A and B are shown apart, each in its own frame.
Chain A
Amino acid sequence: MRSDTTERAPLALKIATGAALLFLHFPLLIVILYAFTTEEASFTFPPPGLTTQWFGEILNREDFWEALSLSLRVAAAATVIALILGTLTAAAIYRSKFFGREAFSLMVILPIALPGIVTGIALRSAIGLSGLGFTYWTIVIGHATFCVVTVYNNVIARLRRTSQSQIEASMDLGASTFQTFRYIILPNIATALLAGGMLAFALSFDEIIVTTFTAGQQQTLPIWIYSQLSRPRDRPVTNVAALFVIAATLIPILVAYRFTRDTVE
C-alpha cells in the first residue's frame, strides 16, 4: 500500500491514531514529571510542588551507581559477544546453503521467541548444576544469548541488500578475503553493525526477566529499580533513577534510528 495518494484520512481514524499515540507516550511524560515532585510518600497527582533536590540526593546513593556500573559493563561485554557471533552467523547463513541452515537460524531466534522466563530458568538450573556460582559472567552469558539475534537480523538484512557483484569484483581484481572484508564488506555493513550493536546494548541494559535468574545477589540497574519498588521511603530517588534510565535508553535508540533510517524504507 503506498501513501503517495492525496486521500484524506477519515476523522475517526485520525482520532484513533492520536489516542494510540497518546496512550504510548503519556507514561513517558509522567516519568519526567514525577522526577521533580516534592511529594515524598505517595504518588499524588498533581504534584504539590516541583523541585530538583532529588537529583542531588541520587549522587550519594552508592548502590545506584554500582548497579549502573554493573549494567554498563554487562551490556558492553554482551554487545561485543553479540557483534562477533551475530556477524559470523549472518555471514555464514547468507553465503552458504548447508544442512541444518534453517535449524541454525531458528536457534539464533529462539532466545527471544521463547518467553524470557524459560531462558532464565534454563540458564539458572544449568548454572546450578555446573556449580559455578553466580558471577558477572553468568549475567553476560544470559544477555549475549538473546542479544545475538539483534545483530544477526541487522547484518543479514544488510547483506541481502549488498550487491554480490562488488565482492566478486574485489576478488577478481586480486584482493584477498581479508582485504575484501576490510574494504568492501565492512563499509557496507558498518551502519548495520552499529545499529545492531546499539539495539543489543539497549536490550541488555534493560533486561530484567532473564537477569533475575542469572544474577544471584548482584544488582543490575533494572533489578535495582525493581527492588526499589518495595521501598516506599525511597520513592523520590527511584523517580529520578527512572528518568535517568529513560534518558539513557532513548539516546542510543535515536542514534540507531538515524543510522538505519536510510535502509528501512
Chain B
Amino acid sequence: MASIPVTASRPQPTPSLLRRISTFFFKRPNLSLILMLIPSLLWLGVVYIGSLSSLLVQSFFYLDGFSGVVIREFSLQTYQSLFTPANIDIIIRTVVMAAFVTLTCAVLAFPLAYYMARYATYRIKGLLYLAVLLPLWSSYIVRVYTWKIILSQEGIITWFFNTLGLQWLLDGILSLPVIGGSSLSFSFLGMFLVFVYIWIPYMILPINTALERVPKSLIDASSDLGAKPGYTFRKVIFPLAFPGVVAGSIFTFSLTLGDYIIPGVIGNSSFFIGQAVFSQQGTAGNIPLAAAFTVVPIVIMGIYLTIAKRLGAFDAL
C-alpha cells in the first residue's frame, strides 16, 4: 500500500443534514440517551407509575357511608374496613388456593422439564418447547371456557368416570366438604384444576432453564463417586434446579392471587381477592376499599419475592 493520500488541501463537501444530525448526537451521548429514554419514561413512569401511586393514595381516602361519596382526606378508615372477618376470609382463601396451585404445578411440571433437559434429543426438545408454548400463548379466556365444557355435569369428565363405572368415586369426591360442590364446575376442586392448567407453563419453563444449566460433569462426578441415580437426583440435580422451581412459583402464585375471571366462571360464589377488588370498584363504587384490597397482593408478593431472592430464584429467571 502506498502512503495515505493527502486530502487536506482538497475542499471537504458539506455533510448532509442527516450526517450533521448524526454527528451532533454522536458527540452528545448523554443527550441521545435521554431522548431514547424519554418516551418510555413518559409512558411507563408517568402514566403507569403515576396511576399506581394515585391508587395507593386513594386507599387512604374513604367512602362516606351515607352519601356514597369518596372523601378525599387522609384516613386509615378504609384499612380498618379491609380487615373485617369476611374480607380476611377472602384473603386466606385466595392465598391457600394460590399455595396449593403452586405446589401442584411444581410437582406436575418437574418431570416434563426434567425430561426436556436431560433426555430429549435436540429435535424433540424443540417440539416440547412448542408444546409448552402453544397452550401458554393461546387465548386465556377460551381455555377457561373450555374447562367449563370439560367440568360440566354432562361433560367429558363425568362421561369418563361413568364409562369406567366409577361414578361413585366422582360423587364421593364431590360430596367432600370444602373442595366439593354440586358438580366439578361449581367446586373449589374444579377451580383448582383450572388454575393449575392455566398457569403450569409458567412453572415448566423456569424449571427447565435451571435444569439445562446443571453441568453434565457434576452428574458424571456424582456417579463416578458411586452415587446411585436416585441419590444423584436428590443431592445434586434437585438442589441445583430448586431456584427454578422458586422462580416458577413466583408466576403461579402471583397470577393466582390476582385472577378474578377463573373464580367467577368456575367455582361456587365465594369471593377471591380479584373479585373483591372488581366488585368494590364496580357496583359498590368504593374505589378506596378496592385500592386497599390491591395492596394485599402487592404486600404478599413483596414478602414472597424477598424470600424467593434469598433462595436464588432471580438467577434462574
Contact = CB atoms under 8 A, between A and B. Distances in A.
Do A and B originate from a single complex? Answer: yes
Interface stretch (A55-63, A109-117, A161-169, A184-192): A109-117
Which of A2, A45, A122 has the largest number of chain B CB atoms within 10 A? A122
B54 interface: yes
Which of B21, B43, B257 has the largest number of chain A CB atoms within 10 A? B43
B37 A88 contact: yes
A165 B137 CA distance: 36
A13 B287 contact: no
Given A24-B132, A42-B152, A246-B139, A118 B44 contact: no
Contacts of A44: 154-155
B52 A31 contact: no
A115 B281 CA distance: 16
Contact of B212 (A1, A91, A122): A1
B44 A148 contact: yes
B149 interface: yes
A114 B277 CA distance: 15
Interface string B279-308: 001000001001100100110010000000
Nearest to A9: B119
Contacts of B257: 115
B258 A27 contact: no
Contacts of B36: 88-89, 91-92
Question: Which label, helix, strand, loop or mixed, suits the secondary structure of the A interface?
Answer: helix
A104 B261 CA distance: 31
* Interface range for A: 35 or more
Contacts of A242: 139, 142, 145-146
B74 interface: no
B139 A113 contact: no
B101 interface: no
A107 B44 contact: yes
A225 B49 contact: no
B301 A20 contact: no
B18 to A, nearest CB: 6
B254 A43 contact: no
B220 to A, nearest CB: 10
Interface string A191-211: 000000001001001101100
A114 B237 CA distance: 31
Contacts of B125: 3
Interface string A95-124: 010100000100110110111111101111
Contact of A122 (B55, B156, B219): B55
Question: Which label, helix, strand, loop or mixed, suits the secondary structure of the B interface?
Answer: helix
Contact of B258 (A81, A104, A115, A126): A115
B37 A89 contact: yes
A31 B146 contact: yes
Contact of B297 (A21, A31, A115): A115
A97 to B, nearest CB: 10
Contact of B52 (A20, A43, A122): A122
Nearest to B276: A117
A46 interface: yes
B132 A229 contact: no
A190 to B, nearest CB: 19
Contacts of A96: 29, 33
B141 A225 contact: yes
A228 B161 CA distance: 29
A7 B119 contact: yes
B138 A145 contact: no
B235 interface: no
B151 to A, nearest CB: 9
Contacts of B154: 42-45
B68 interface: no
A226 B141 contact: yes
Interface stretch (B4-12, B108-116, B169-177): B108-116
Nearest to B29: A96
Contacts of A2: 216
20 contacts: A3-B119, A8-B119, A13-B114, A17-B115, A20-B108, A21-B128, A27-B146, A115-B259, A118-B55, A119-B48, A121-B55, A122-B48, A123-B48, A125-B51, A178-B18, A225-B139, A225-B145, A249-B138, A257-B129, A264-B129
Interface of A: 1-3, 5, 7-9, 13-14, 16-17, 20-21, 23-25, 27-28, 30-31, 34, 42-46, 81, 84-85, 88-89, 91-92, 96, 98, 104, 107-108, 110-111, 113-119, 121-126, 128-129, 141, 144-145, 148, 176-179, 199, 202, 205-206, 208-209, 212-213, 222, 225-226, 229, 238, 242, 245-246, 249-250, 253-254, 257, 261, 264
Given A20-B200, A85-B40, A199-B137, 4 more contacts: A27-B135, A30-B150, A104-B41, A249-B137
